[in-house]
Structure 1
Amino acid sequence: MVTAALAPADEQEPAFTPSARPGLRKIAPYWYPYTTMAKGRWFNREILEVVSTEFRDRSVEYYRYALDSGVTTINGRIAKPGTIIRNGDRLENIVHRHEPPVTSTPVRILHEDPEREFIVIDKPGSIPVHATGRYFYLSLVEILQNDFGYTKVYTVNRLDRLTSGLMVIGLSSKRAHTLAEEFMAGTIKKEYIARCTGEFPTEEITVDQPLLTVDRQMGLNIVHPEGKPAKTIFNRLHYDANTNTSVLHCQPLTGRSHQIRVHLQYLGHPIANDPVYSEKKIWGENLGKGGIDTTPTDERSAPVPPPQFKSAPNPEVSSSAPEPASEPVASSSTDTADAAKKLLPRETGHDIGMGSPVPLSAEAVGVITRLRNMKDEDEDWSRWRDVVFKAKGRLHPKGMRIKPPPPQNRRVRGGPSRTDTPSDAGVYTPSATSTPAEPGTPAPEPDLAQTADGLLFCPECYLPLHPDPPPEKLYIFLHALRYTTSLGVFETSMPEWAGVGWEWERRER
């Protein structure tokens, strides 16, 4: 067990000693076959509409192009943009994954108990717990299996990708189930450390505002009367006048998504470097203090390209009609809609709110719109520059071919697809390119191609490339410090950024 002592409020601690700046951990892009069963929210919708609504990494036109290239099948048959998804359908897709880099700071095993079948780890900020979105091999589960040799790990609780700190992980499904029951019953005491903006009150503060996830794509949560109950207790450890920030001890009594982050925002003291809940470009000068208006509205606006791309072809506007299918489609002709008759929700702005359990207010719609625009800007507007594929042939995923689906009673809901992979197929195998690098060590770079006007893009999937993020933007000042469980009390050391007088490089947008 690694221990960490909490100092009383404003007791002077030793000044921090800066450590080496972390580097980035990368892996080369790779082709990846994936399979999933149709989700309820996809039923009776065109696959292009579903894909362009669920994912925003590429332009609408690219998703049409990828579907026309035949990389997606439904029940073993090629799907086209207008194919309708039905209940019970099995979707299989081959994608060229460009996993975003994560920190080179390694995952640490703090405690290993083979007899009782669990481990305790310290997760660095930037690493997602599970394979999700663009992440797979750089997720915590894959790192534990590939780097540390665990055959199977069973996560019990989750930490946000940007949050660092302690996690208790089962080495058997039985142990994981027991721990999960403890978390659900609220018998595990969880303690976190955070650095927030402003001078936090010296007295203990309790927030019990309900929380609701209103946008799945961006993972946005707000205080909302229709949300799930949530309660957090905050105590100030010290205030740093040099940065006008406070270091807090946080005790969440429930386990909602982004709970500490949103409750601190509600108090007017968001986490100091939170890219979502502490950004004036998204929330305005008030930064969401006291919550936002929840009066529903149906008003939406179509996405507007940034000024520098207004005169260029807009890849976010779908073609007037799909290319004719050259192979059998998954559904009958009566199941295939004419894409030219209507605009997709993403083209009109009505994709905002489609995944929300409640109607959204005008203020919530504005927040989500600005959050999406900020993400696009951070990625060098790559989605709006996604036009290279128009001058290329169909996608060729290095010869991978998806096998016919298994019998109905042997199907699983998700994971790697069943594929025939010739020797030159691009299925990625973790290797030296995926091992942590020492800070400052150059990471492997993917193969690049370049257009006549200097745009760098991937030569296999034609993705416009953008610079890597600076390592300090890959985490937030929120750390899981201590868990008290039936198996014992487990702690990490205090994070460096919690030290008295600690300063960091702030980047203006």
Structure 2
Amino acid sequence: MENIQIKIDNSNLMRLIGPNITKDESDILIKNDSLDSENKNSVKRRKLDKDSHNDSISKNNKPKDLDDVIYYFEDGLRKVKPYYYEYQAFAKGRWLGRSIFDIFCTEFRDRSRDYYAYAIETGLITINEKIVTKEKIVKNQDIIGHKIHRHEPPVTADPIKLISMENDLIVIDKPGSVPVHPSGRYRHNTVLHILQKEFGFSNLYTLNRLDRLTSGIMFLSTNKEKAQEFEQLMQERKIHKEYLCRVIGEFPTGDVRCDKPIMTVSHKLGLNVVHPKGKPCTTIFRRESYNGRTSVVKCIPITGRTHQIRVHLQYLGYVIGNDPLYNHHVWGQQKGKGGIDEVSTKSVINNLINEGINQEECLVLNLPTKQNSDITTSNVMNVESSEQSQRFKDKSLGKCEECTIPNFPDPKPDQLFIWLHALKYEVSGCKYETQLPYWAKDDFDGDINIK
């Protein structure tokens, strides 16, 4: 039998594949020969190196469903009209011999048993594209499908600005809050899909990558060779970068150089810390202004590690004022200044997880924490008297008439990003620069209540 190869990209990692899957496992190639979990040739996983994301090149063909997507703007936010989307995956080895209802109820607990019963009965959950009963036993080579009503988180309504587009090089000013690639809860509210939808690009290579919460200059290309040239320049550190940020406290005058190595200590959280076993890392900082509360600081990263600027600033004792991860209270009174030991690191990770922080979610939004994010409309009704369910309902604005998932209040646009901006890039003698972000100007007073 000819092997059939199915690629499930980051956006297809459904609740079907489950909340337990890590982002590292999000690019999966499955061959339709044997799916026994002990057969090493049956499932090939390509691990993503998070530390190489800034230098990676990825090609993105226009998704088939992008023509049907509806963007709309409301209260300073870009939103995507909820839509149905079907995820598919081959049955895992541990699922074999179990009923489809049991699998969903025990493996994917982000929804209630009542929902899964309804989804199976109505054909939202299928086996080999066929409607089945709750008692249907999953067998080897079965393809499990789950059609869900997707509610993407809103992002800022600020447009993606085209700075330059020549010689196959596209330079944009990315707003903070917009992720680059489809991943997790984001699919269409991403840089790639917005550019494809609004500017008509069919293939794009991302040349550098900014965190979702970070704004500023990004490079893309429609030409593979151009992308490879750019990647080579980045590897040879021939690209000069300048960022701006606003940190708490009076940053020192003169150049401050930080050469501390950085290591990822939690992929689930996307958390990095200064660690002697980390990767070599260098950032130069220079204070631009101080208003008595916070300082605007120019950052020149010599290397390009994940969260490099944020981690080095934390180590120096000057965290970015509205950084929801590295300015979190779990770091203690000193907010991680001077680094923390391994015992403290484990405590920070556990406390962040307990508070519901994770790499994918909107860290700065006023959304339910982990403790109540697993409560669905169905089981809220069954625990009316609990204080937890009351807090959950207080934040809810009713439920979606289509899928019964609770609706939550929208965030304010200024809650969606951090004060970190890629301001300038110099590449092969060409200089690219964005306008100064409003929070970096002398008259900014949005830092009055920041601690």
Percent of residue pairs identical? 40
Deviation (angstroms), 1:454: 8.4
Q: Aligned letter for 2:334?
A: N
Aligned to 1:266: 315
Change (3 A) 1:480 1:89: farther
Counterpart check, 1:361 vs 2:351: no
Q: Aligned letter for 1:379?
A: L
Q: Aligned letter for 1:286?
A: Q
Aligned to 1:103: 156
Listed as ranges, the matches of 1:77-226 within 5 Å are 92-113=145-166, 116-226=167-277
Aligned to 1:285: 333
Listed as ranges, the matches of 1:400-439 within 5 Å are none
Aligned to 2:342: 294
**Aligned partners of 2:135 and 2:424: how far apart in 1?**
49
**Aligned partners of 1:251 and 1:206: how far apart in 2?**
9
Q: How far does the alpha carbon of each residue in 1:200-252 deviate from its partner, in whole angstroms, 9 at most, with x for none?
A: 111312222232333344332222334333221111111111xx111111011
**Could you say what secondary structure the match of 2:355 adopts?**
helix
Aligned to 2:357: 372
Aligned to 1:303: none
**Aligned partners of 2:423 and 2:139: how far apart in 1?**
45
Counterpart check, 1:257 vs 2:306: yes
Q: How far does the alpha carbon of each residue in 1:453-507 deviate from its partner, in whole angstroms, 9 at most, with x for none?
A: 9861112222112110111111111100111112722111221211124211666
Q: Which of 463, 478, 485 pairs up with 2:405?
A: 463
In structure 1, runs of 5+ residues without a counterpart are 1-20, 53-57, 297-359, 393-450
Change (3 A) 1:295 1:64: farther
Q: Contact 2:114 / 2:378 at 8 angstroms: preserved in 1? A: no
Listed as ranges, the matches of 1:305-316 within 5 Å are none
**Could you say what secondary structure the match of 2:203 adopts?**
coil
Change (3 A) 1:125 1:81: farther
Aligned to 1:498: 440
**Aligned partners of 2:442 and 2:88: how far apart in 1?**
49
Q: Aligned letter for 1:30?
A: Y
CA RMSD of the aligned region, Å? 3.8
Q: Aligned letter for 1:111?
A: S
Q: Contact 1:47 / 1:85 at 8 angstroms: preserved in 2? A: no
**Could you say what secondary structure the match of 2:233 adopts?**
helix
**Aligned partners of 2:245 and 2:217: how far apart in 1?**
14
**Aligned partners of 2:318 and 2:93: how far apart in 1?**
42
**Aligned partners of 1:490 and 1:454: how far apart in 2?**
43
**Aligned partners of 1:110 and 1:35: how far apart in 2?**
39
Q: Contact 1:190 / 1:483 at 8 angstroms: preserved in 2? A: yes
Counterpart check, 1:387 vs 2:438: no
Q: Count residues in correspondence.
A: 353
Aligned to 1:16: none
Q: Aligned letter for 2:296?
A: V
**Aligned partners of 1:66 and 1:156: how far apart in 2?**
44
Q: Aligned letter for 1:179?
A: F
Q: How far does the alpha carbon of each residue in 1:89-121 deviate from its partner, in whole angstroms, 9 at most, with x for none?
A: 9765433211111111111001111xx211111
Q: Contact 1:72 / 1:93 at 8 angstroms: preserved in 2? A: yes
Deviation (angstroms), 1:260: 0.8
Q: Contact 1:482 / 1:489 at 8 angstroms: preserved in 2? A: yes
Q: Aligned letter for 1:250?
A: C
Change (3 A) 1:184 1:385: same
Higher relative contact order (CA 8 A, sep 6+): 1
Aligned to 1:29: 82
Q: Aligned letter for 2:376?
A: D
**Aligned partners of 2:341 and 2:128: how far apart in 1?**
44
Q: Contact 1:376 / 1:383 at 8 angstroms: preserved in 2? A: no
Q: Contact 1:193 / 1:249 at 8 angstroms: preserved in 2? A: yes
Q: Contact 1:44 / 1:85 at 8 angstroms: preserved in 2? A: no
Change (3 A) 1:66 1:236: farther
Q: How far does the alpha carbon of each residue in 1:156-194 deviate from its partner, in whole angstroms, 9 at most, with x for none?
A: 111011111001111122222221222233221111111
Query: TM-score scaled to structure 2, two decimals?
Result: 0.67
Q: Contact 1:59 / 1:383 at 8 angstroms: preserved in 2? A: no
Listed as ranges, the matches of 1:481-492 within 5 Å are 481-486=423-428, 488-492=430-434
Q: Aligned letter for 1:284?
A: G
Query: TM-score scaled to structure 1, two decimals?
Result: 0.60
**Aligned partners of 1:119 and 1:179: how far apart in 2?**
12
Listed as ranges, the matches of 1:430-449 within 5 Å are none
Q: Aligned letter for 1:259?
A: Q
Change (3 A) 1:278 1:362: closer
**Could you say what secondary structure the match of 1:187 adopts?**
coil
Change (3 A) 1:375 1:148: closer
Q: Contact 2:85 / 2:149 at 8 angstroms: preserved in 1? A: yes
Listed as ranges, the matches of 1:332-351 within 5 Å are none
